[in-house]
């Protein structure tokens, strides 16, 4: 299974940018990097995905290194509602391998 | 528009019983996926359907688990002779399509899950 490496937990002050790193050194050339998050007791929520270019949408920005071995998810102005577990996934097959993710806690 | 829905939201059963969990995908999505999430872990893949057929069931833990999608829309995950170790949240997701063996796939959107507790 394709696997990514993420820190188990991070804190971020409310209103500041949250930068969540992910290593995906085994990623293949045509595999996308997907980010999901899971708020307590809810199903995973899609955030953003990218192949090699940086991406931005209404929720977040995704910065992918040129060698594609790592990426950073950026929440520009974290709110308390962004407290969740964030999963970085190499989407190589039709089944997503989630790993254990990063637990982000936004602090008032 | 309506997202993926799952029923029931909670199911409590006794060891040895049979249970069915239902998933209604987003309208028009041809691919449907089932995952299982144990406490403190990320979701783990069970099976996915492209249309009516199970294209990959490699994640099903054993032959007590079975899933169907007879009309290519609603899917039912069936668990026979439930065991306490089957207790978990069962998640369903759908996507517009799934690539047939190629790498790229479409974004999966998840339902809220069914929490199964086997006593």
Chain B: nearest CA to A21, how far in angstroms?
17
User: Which of A45, A46, A99 lies at the smallest CB-CB distance from B42?
Assistant: A99
**108 residues of chain A, pLDDT tens digit each:** 558 999 999 999 999 999 999 999 888 877 889 999 999 889 999 999 998 889 999 999 999 999 999 999 999 999 999 999 999 998 766 778 888 899 999 999
Give the position of tokens 């520009």: A76
Going by C-beta distance under 8 Å and a sequence separation of 6 or more, which residues neighbour residue B95? B29, B30, B31, B33, B105, B106, B107, B108, B109
User: Which of A44, A92, A94 lies at the smallest CB-CB distance from B56?
Assistant: A94
pLDDT digits (tens, 9 = 90+) for B63-114: 999 999 999 999 999 999 999 999 999 999 999 876 655 444 688 999 999 9
With CB atoms and an 8 Å threshold, state whether A98 touches B42.
yes
CB pairs under 8 A between A and B: 62
Chain B residues inside the 8 Å CB shell of A32 = 104
With CB atoms and an 8 Å threshold, state whether A30 touches B103.
yes
Tokens of A45: 């929520």
pLDDT digits (tens, 9 = 90+) for B18-65: 999 999 999 999 999 999 999 989 999 999 999 999 988 999 999 999
Tokens of A78: 């974290």
DSSP H or E segment with residue B33? strand B31-37
Find the angle CA(A89)-CA(A90)-CA(A96) to the nearest 5 degrees: 65
User: Which of B103, B107, B112 lies at the smallest CB-CB distance from A43?
Assistant: B112
SS3 assignment, position B60: coil
With CB atoms and an 8 Å threshold, state whether B33 touches A94.
yes
Q: How is A25-65 classified by DSSP, letter by letter?
A: TT--TTPEEEEEEE-TTS--EEEEEESSS-EE-SS-EEEE-
Do residues B9 and B22 touch, judged by C-beta distance below 8 A? no
Of B74, B30, B65, B64, the C-alpha closest to B46 is B65
As a residue count, chain A comes to 108
Measured between CB atoms, does B57 come within 8 Å of chain A? no
């Amino acid at each position: 299974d394709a696997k990514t490496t993420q820190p188990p937990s991070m804190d971020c002050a409310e209103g500041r940018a949250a930068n969540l790193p992910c290593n995906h050194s085994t990623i293949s050339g045509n595999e996308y990097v997907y980010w999901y998050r899971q708020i307590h007791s809810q199903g995973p929520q899609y955030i953003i995905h990218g192949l090699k270019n940086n991406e931005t949408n209404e929720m977040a920005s995704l910065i992918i290194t040129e060698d594609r071995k790592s990426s950073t998810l950026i929440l520009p102005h974290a709110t308390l509602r962004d407290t969740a577990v964030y999963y970085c996934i190499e989407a190589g097959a039709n089944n997503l391998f989630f790993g254990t993710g990063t637990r982000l806690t936004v602090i008032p | 528009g309506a997202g993926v829905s799952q029923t029931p939201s909670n199911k409590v059963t006794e060891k040895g019983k049979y249970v069915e969990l239902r998933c209604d995908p987003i309208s028009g999505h041809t691919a449907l996926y089932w995952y299982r999430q144990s406490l403190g872990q990320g979701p783990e893949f069970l099976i996915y359907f492209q249309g009516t057929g199970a294209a990959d069931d490699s994640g099903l833990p054993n032959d007590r688990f079975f899933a169907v999608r007879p009309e290519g829309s609603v899917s039912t995950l069936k668990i026979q002779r439930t065991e306490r170790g089957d207790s978990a949240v069962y998640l369903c997701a759908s996507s517009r399509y799934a690539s047939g063996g190629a790498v790229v796939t479409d974004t999966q959107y998840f339902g809220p899950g069914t929490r199964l507790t086997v006593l």
